[in-house]
Every structure is written in C-alpha cells, then in structure tokens.
C-alpha cells in the first residue's frame, strides 16, 4: 500500500512516517502541497494523509485535485476544531478527518479502516481477505491471481460507481502501463467466472461497477 503523508511540520512528519513504515507501508513524504501533488502525479497513491494548512498549496486544495484525478482515499489532519472546518473537509471529498494532537496508533487504525485492511469483507457467499489477497466462495479458496484480486479490491472500494477501463488500468496495472485497455476485459471475464456473473456489471462504453443487489 502506498501512502502519501504531507505536513509542513517536520517533527510531526517524521513521527507519522516512522509509525507507518513500521507497519510495512510504502511512504511518500511531502513538506508542502505542491510536493504532494507532484508525488500524486508520478505514483499510484492508495491513501493521502494531508495537513490542512500547508505552504504553496493547502491540504484542502490537494484533496480537491486528487479526488478529480484518481480514486485515492484522503484523510485530513488539522489543528482546527470547528465543526464548519470538519464539514468543509468532508464536502471537499475527504474520507476522514483527524484533529491534532492525536495518538499515531489511532491514526494508523483509521488509515487501515479506510484501506479495508482491518477485516475481511463479506459479499453474500464471497469473503474477500484484504490482508491475504484471497477470495473465498462458500469457504473455498477461488485461487484468484494477483491482478484479479486487485481488480476486485478496486471495484469493492468504489462499489456502486462505474470505473472506466482507463481508471482500472491506472489503479491495477499502474500509470506506466502502455498495453491495450482490452486486457481489463479479459481479466474481468476470468474474475467473473470465479466469483459469479451477477456481481460485476458492465456499462457499455463506460466501464464496470461492483453492485450488490441484496445490500
């Protein structure tokens, strides 16, 4: 998992980075909003932890741009305690909001929850093991490939939303992949054969969506 951590308080940045690296995350630190945006343009970021007040570009502005460009989760950090600021952060697209000062271990738990790392996810007869990268159906390991699991994970994190082939390529294969977009179709077809036909819906000309009728 790739995590961007942006804060102009260098002591705070070092502490947060140390805690997350100890948990095994790949960390991309930034000291201002401009550097944070550069990192997001060149790397696939799963979660962005952004300080609200940063030089050059604010955390709120980084959040706005990030949400327009890719599907990374965003967690805002701020010393502000007013409810209006919290509301503004969530309206901007932030997925969670943590006030300073905070306990780093609590921040890690909140981050893991956003990344669906804290528990298995059940979808009817399916169980998706987020930590182990496995999918089970009626308790039987479906033996999905890494790409199939990453596709399921991406669709699951944005269930109910249509993801284009381009978005899925960027999220699963990486921004530097230059192959055919149709490779997504092939992997989706194989994934469907394992998990069942009704879970992943095709929107012709648009992309794919994970939809769960019984939820």
Claim: this prediction has a pTM higher than 0.85: no
Average pLDDT, the chain: 86
Q: Do 51 and 78 contact (CB within 8 A), yes or no? A: yes
Between 174 and 183, name the one with better pLDDT: 183
What domains are there in the chain, each with its CATH number? 2-114 (3.40.50.2300), 121-210 (1.10.10.10)
Instruction: Measure CA 108 to chain center.
Output: 14
How much is the pLDDT for 75?
94
Q: What are 125-169's pLDDT values in tens digits? A: 888 887 788 999 988 999 999 999 999 988 887 777 889 998 898
pLDDT of 26 higher than 70: yes
How much is the pLDDT for 105?
87
**Long-range pairs of 182-186 with CB within 8 A, sequence gap ≥ 24:** 184/151, 184/208
pLDDT of 202 higher than 70: yes
pLDDT of 117 higher than 60: yes
């Amino acid at each position: 998992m790739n995590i961007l951590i942006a804060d102009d308080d260098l002591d705070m940045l070092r502490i947060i980075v140390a805690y997350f690296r100890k948990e095994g995350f790949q960390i991309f630190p930034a000291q201002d909003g401009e550097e944070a945006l550069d990192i997001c343009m060149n790397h696939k970021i799963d979660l962005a932890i952004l300080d609200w007040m940063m030089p050059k570009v604010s955390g709120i502005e980084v959040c706005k741009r990030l949400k327009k460009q890719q599907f990374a989760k965003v967690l805002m950090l701020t010393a502000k305690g007013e409810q209006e600021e919290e509301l503004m952060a969530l309206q901007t697209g932030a997925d969670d909001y943590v006030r300073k000062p905070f306990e780093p271990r609590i921040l890690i738990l909140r981050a893991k929850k956003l990344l669906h790392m804290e528990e298995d996810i059940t979808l009817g007869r399916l169980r998706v093991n987020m930590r182990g990268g496995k999918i089970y159906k009626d308790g039987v390991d479906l033996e999905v490939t890494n790409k199939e699991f990453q596709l399921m994970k991406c669709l699951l994190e944005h269930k109910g939303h249509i993801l284009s082939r381009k978005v899925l390529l960027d999220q699963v294969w990486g921004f530097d992949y230059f192959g055919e977009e149709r490779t997504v179709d092939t992997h989706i077809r194989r994934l469907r054969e394992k998990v069942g036909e009704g879970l992943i819906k095709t929107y012709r000309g648009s992309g794919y969506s994970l939809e769960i009728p019984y939820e």
